[in-house]
Structure formats: structure tokens, C-alpha cells
Amino acid sequence: MFKDEIVEEIHKIREKYSQSFNHDLKAIFADLQKQQAQSGKEIINLLSKQAVIGDKKHHG
């Protein structure tokens, strides 16, 4: 079976990151939110936007 070195590296990084929080999803999520807030990038909530496709309005 073909082994993709990049994918394997990503898996290792993800596992190490998860281990650093003792695999606690709430702690991981809180850290990701903290990183997002500190990034200084504009955060767009697509769920609050209205998309217009053709002549029909879709609420997402």
C-alpha cells in the first residue's frame, strides 16, 4: 500500500497536539478558539450570511 509521507507527518503532528491536551476535546477546542482570537484575522460566520443562488435566496 502507498504511504504518503505528508499525510503521515500530519497524523503525527495531530496526535502530538491532541496528546498535549490529554485528548480532551473541550481543551483542544478552547485552544483553537484562543488561537483564532489571537490571529487577528477577520472571522466570518457563514451560518449568519444569506447566500443568493440564481433567483432564489438560501439561508445557511
What is the tens place of the pLDDT at every residue in 32-46? 999 999 999 988 877
Residue 2's identity, in one-letter code, is F
> Residue 45 and residue 53: Cα distance in Å, rounded?
18
Which helix (H) or strand (E) element contains residue 58? strand 56-59
| Weakest mean pLDDT among 14-18, 19-23, 43-47 | 43-47
State residue 53's pLDDT score: 55
Are the C-beta atoms of 60 and 47 separated by less than 8 Å? Answer: yes
Give pTM, 2 decimals.
0.64
**Statement: residue 23 has pLDDT above 80:** yes
Domain of residue 55 covers 5-59
Higher pLDDT, 41 or 51: 41
Q: Please give the pLDDT value at position 47.
A: 78
Tell me how many domains the chain contains. Answer: 1
- From the list 15, 13, 31, the residue with the least C-alpha distance to 23 is 15
